[in-house]
């Protein structure tokens, strides 16, 4: 597989796998995302769309540009992950308040609000080896973006 094809495949697979993990931890593992967790997801959604378009775009120049944009989206998610992890580790203060998810139509709004889980952005819900999910997103996203861009600079 040549370097461009590998970069394009990585630009699609990496955010897709990271989003599958995020959604799995939410819907299967019961880890509710905070506001900054959602911020990290949006660039991954964009990267998936851009990388998918790189498979059908006419011309190699357009395909390469879409892969570059996907890599930048992945890097953006990683940068937000660095900020979020820093908030969790207490390195700096966050810019969001605690959030609670209550859907309209839950019946008695006050009861639903009081029962809703409060998700703080400054407390890691899960860690492995002292690294939070935001930290892992930062590591994988920034490392993946660098790998994609490095593959795009390779000569044939």
The single-letter DSSP state of residue 56 is T
Q: In the chain, pLDDT over 90 holds for what percent of residues? A: 66
- Sign of the C-alpha dihedral computed for residues 48, 49, 53 and 54 taken in this order: negative
Instruction: Please compute the mean of the pLDDT values over residues 90-98 and round it to a whole number.
Output: 76
154 confidence band (pLDDT: 50, 70, 90): confident
Shortest CA distance to 74 belongs to which of 30, 16, 135? 16
pTM, entire model: 0.84
1-13 burial by CB neighbour count: b if 16+ within 10 A, else e? eeebeebbbbbbe
What's residue 97's pLDDT? 57
What pLDDT, on the 0 to 100 scale, is given for residue 139?
97
State the helix-helix crossing angle for 133-153 and 60-88, rounded to 10 degrees.
150
Q: What is the mean pLDDT of the chain?
A: 88
What is the per-residue pLDDT for 28? 94
Cα-based distances in Å from 61 to 65, 76, 104, 109, 151: 6, 22, 46, 53, 15
Instruction: Tell me what pLDDT residue 72 has.
Output: 98
State pLDDT tens for residues 16-69: 999 999 999 999 998 888 889 999 999 999 999 999 999 999 999 999 999 999
């Amino acid at each position: 597989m040549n370097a461009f094809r590998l970069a394009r495949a990585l630009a699609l697979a990496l955010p897709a796998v990271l989003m599958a993990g995020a959604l799995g931890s939410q819907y299967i593992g019961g880890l509710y995302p905070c506001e900054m967790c959602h911020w990290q997801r949006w660039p991954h959604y964009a990267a998936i769309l851009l990388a998918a378009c790189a498979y059908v775009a006419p011309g190699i120049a357009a395909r390469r540009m879409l892969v570059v944009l996907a890599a930048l989206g992945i890097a953006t998610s990683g940068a937000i992950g660095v900020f979020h992890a820093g908030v969790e580790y207490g390195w700096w203060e966050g810019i969001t308040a605690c959030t609670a998810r209550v859907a309209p139509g839950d019946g008695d709004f006050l009861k639903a609000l009081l029962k809703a889980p409060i998700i703080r952005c400054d407390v890691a819900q899960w860690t492995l080896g002292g690294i939070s999910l935001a930290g892992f997103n930062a590591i994988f996203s920034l490392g993946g973006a660098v790998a994609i861009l490095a593959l795009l600079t390779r000569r044939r």
